[in-house]
A and B are shown apart, each in its own frame.
Chain A
Amino acid sequence: MKLSFSAEDEQFRQEVATWLQQNLTGEFAKLRFRGGPGDEHMYPEERKRWEQKLAEGGWTCIGWPTEYGGRGCSIEQQVIFNEEYARAGAPGHVGHIGEGLAGPTIIAFGSEEQKQKYLPGIVAGTELWCQGYSEPGAGSDLANVKTRARFDEEKGKWIINGQKVWTSLAHESDYIFVIARTDPDSVAHKGLGFFLMKMDQPGIDVRGIEQITGTCEFNEVFFDDAECDAGDIVGAPGDGWKVAMGLLGFERGVSTLGQQMQFQNELNQVIEIARRNGAAKNPAIRQRLAKAHTELKIMRYNSMRMLSGQGGSDGSLQKEALIYKLFWATWHRTMGELAMDVLGPESQVLEGGPYELSRLQAMYLFVRSDTIYGGTNEIQKNIIAERGLGMPKEPRVAAK
């Protein structure tokens, strides 16, 4: 059992750090520490150009196989890249849904034609993606999607009708991946399809939803006879659930250390404020800051255990991976509260009108969503109890 990375990996770290140092300059300098949680609406154009800058340096999709334009980096190298990226304060990745979700799904389940058509745009940082899963009636119960897909023989295309909701960055995206019901008589997991669709078409209407922060990061997406080419269904009709779930497996924790570096930046900032405004002398605040530090420190080693991969002998998700989402989301939410309590009454005064939040204020509000998206805390606990501890499944009530 060792705590350190290998010498080659440390060399790779140096390479990444140097590149970022040399390139996060000029027009990109102002992007440092921007575009993170609660701040996604900032500098969209500059951040798209930054994405292309990264691509020029070969720093997008680094974990993908080289045949698809990736760099073929090991898990360790991906972790290091993410960590250095966050350490340098490089901005929130506008391409992350394409790179982290759409691309890997297409690589694993897509046709050769789909790979040719979609992967290069993701690697180049020129084509952005969004995720069309949730619907008004399908949140935690994702299998309850009602959006329909019907194959029109005449047009030779899939015709999609229905509505998605909470779709992050739909207003900035070129493409969306959608799960929709291909068999109108099916229920739950059966009869779903997984579709790759162009956003810019008459049948798709995007309407922003104002968030708790007063900004619009997610949207409603309406499909009114929207079209999808015959070749743009991933897998067969009916395979949608399998593809959608396979996608969850791609989150193998490579971004976790980068995310933690962001958390560390936030904690450092709060500690700095506490020292300046005297909150650091308050025994209750001292306890809370020490606890935040303790748990963030351990979070790092929990991820390293996760990445060192002694999974269940039956191939099940390792226990340290099973608990990870619940743990970090809860930690981050607590961190937001602590930030405001360290600031005291000053936490209530905005940067400017009408509703201009400071970074920490935006963070504090945004983190309320960490325990909701990507499986709520309650859903995580169900999963931990059932898969981690073998407790009985939730009773299912038959659909009406």
Chain B
Amino acid sequence: MDFAFTDEQLMIRDTAQAFLAEVSDSAAVRAAMVSEHGFDAELWQRICADMYWQAIHIPEQYGGMGLGYVELVAMVEQMGRFLLCSPFFSTVCLATNALLVAGTEEQKTRYLPRICEGMTATLAHTGAAAGQFGGQWHAEAVEATVTRDGDDYMLSGELRYVVDGGSAELLIVAAREPGSCGTDGISLFVVPADTLGINRQILPTMDQTRKLANISLDRVRVPPTALMGEPGQAWPQLQTIINLATVALAAEQMGGAQQVMDITVEYTKERTQFNRPIASFQAIKHKAADMMTQVEVARSGVYYAACVAQEALTGGELAGELNEAASVAKSYCSDVYFSNAGEAIQMHGGVGFTWEYDVHLYFKRAKASEHLLGNGDYHRERLAAMLLDGEVA
């Protein structure tokens, strides 16, 4: 049985870890998170030029490295550990997946090589509906509208919670036919962010390590070549894109849950009270054991989902399991990251409540990641519908 990293995958993981430990330490994260776009442009250039991470799963014919989703996940896990502030998630896990899954050959040939060169991009699919009922992230969240004007398309509406929406150079926009609802009438477009009629507003957010934006589309005119796939038929592709991004986000959460545990266990071994390290108190040990149990389970869930995601990208046998795998991984990892980060504050005592210690960075990132692309409850309800609904035999 080979449910383990290959040597090459281990090398990718270890390289990512070593690089990020150097370039994404606490000081670097804190500097990046208060900058306008939330990342250090020089570091992003270094990642693109020296590491070539942005090209990891882009096929070689478009200038990419041609590796798979397991490799991508191994790297993203490390980014989560080190709270890397970068447009990687938006560019690679959202937009590149969108191009790979839904792009026409012409669009792939045009944009993927530019992503390999360092262009940033993101997916903008959610309207205000994403903020309702405690969060909804699939077809029901698509609200922007598309109408025809001659050969061109006109896009209008408000997009909310767009990851790196304030800085991305290229937008993948989801819009629906006026009057359509649910999974009907949805189309995807690839649109340069500087197109006339696009207005972007970066949102101040509690978690400062990832930037969200509102984007308003005011009769944005795009040519027919911007359409990805068939008009009004894009839901299956969009669903796959969201699922793929969800798997990557779960990997990031798992990495964060691991790191916040490691930091905390280290701290408890150093801090003494009652003449002994607080790590020797069973109440503390048992919290730590729960943290580790959850992280290891989360890891198994993420690697499973990564294998399914890889099959989904390559049309493998398990491609049909992607909805389930994404929700399994995201629901579990969302809960685990938040619970580990919350316990981390408790186990640190007073210093855990300070701005100076890094614990709050993880605590905030955990909640933000939980509510991005659907929290635990949302994904469990999605699973419940798969398990429980339909005719009773």
Contacts and interface: CB of A to CB of B under 8 A. Distances in A.
A210 B313 CA distance: 56
Nearest to A303: B300
A302 interface: yes
B307 interface: yes
Nearest to A320: B296
Interface string A283-309: 100110111011101110110110111
B217 interface: no
Interface stretch (A1-9, A170-178, A217-225, A352-360): A1-9
A381 to B, nearest CB: 4
A180 B387 CA distance: 51
A39 to B, nearest CB: 26
Contacts of A79: 1
Given A293-B383, A320-B300, A308 B4 contact: yes
B381 to A, nearest CB: 6
B387 A319 contact: no
Contacts of B277: 392
A320 to B, nearest CB: 5
Contacts of B369: none
Given A286-B381, A287-B381, A294-B332, A1 B2 contact: yes
B292 A392 contact: no
Interface string B268-309: 110000001101101011101110110011111101101110
Given A298-B328, A302-B296, A302-B300, A378 B286 contact: yes
A394 B283 CA distance: 12
Contacts, number: 161
A310 B13 CA distance: 15
Interface string B313-333: 000011000001001100110
B177 interface: no
A116 B377 CA distance: 58
B70 interface: yes
| A contact face: mostly helix, strand, loop, or mixed | helix
A349 B53 CA distance: 60
B123 interface: no
B296 A304 contact: no
A381 B4 contact: no
B292 A310 contact: no
B5 interface: yes
B388 A271 contact: yes
Interface in A348-400: 378, 380-382, 384-386, 388-392, 394-395
B6 interface: yes
Contacts of A394: 282
A290 B4 contact: no
B384 interface: yes
A391 B280 CA distance: 7
Contact of A1 (B276, B307, B387, B392): B307
A275 interface: yes
A287 B3 CA distance: 29
A4 B316 CA distance: 12
Given A1-B306, A308-B3, A389 B331 contact: no
Contacts of B379: 290
A286 B327 CA distance: 14
A289 B292 contact: no
B380 A308 contact: no
B198 interface: no
Contact of A323 (B70, B296, B304, B317): B296
A280 B381 CA distance: 11
A1 B265 CA distance: 30
Given A302-B300, A319-B292, A310 B387 contact: no
Contacts of B301: 294, 297-298, 301
Nearest to A319: B296
A388 B380 contact: no
Contacts of A322: 296
B104 interface: no
B265 A389 contact: yes
Given A1-B6, A286-B381, A392 B280 contact: yes
Given A2-B2, A308-B1, A294 B306 contact: no
B9 interface: yes
Nearest to B280: A392
B300 A301 contact: yes
A33 interface: no
A291 B380 contact: yes
B383 A290 contact: yes
Contacts of B304: 3, 297-298, 301
A323 B297 contact: yes
A302 B5 CA distance: 14
A76 interface: yes
Given A3-B318, A286-B381, A381-B286, A327 B293 contact: yes
Contacts of B303: 1, 301, 305
B329 to A, nearest CB: 8
6 closest cross-chain pairs (CB), A and B: A385-B285, A290-B380, A381-B289, A286-B384, A302-B300, A384-B289
20 contacts: A1-B2, A1-B306, A2-B2, A2-B3, A2-B307, A3-B307, A287-B380, A293-B387, A297-B301, A301-B304, A304-B1, A304-B300, A309-B4, A310-B5, A319-B292, A320-B296, A326-B289, A381-B290, A389-B289, A391-B269
Interface of A: 1-5, 75-76, 79, 271, 274-276, 280, 283, 286-287, 289-291, 293-295, 297-299, 301-302, 304-305, 307-310, 319-320, 322-323, 326-327, 378, 380-382, 384-386, 388-392, 394-395
Given A293-B328, A308-B3, 7 more contacts: A1-B2, A3-B318, A294-B383, A302-B296, A323-B292, A378-B286, A391-B265
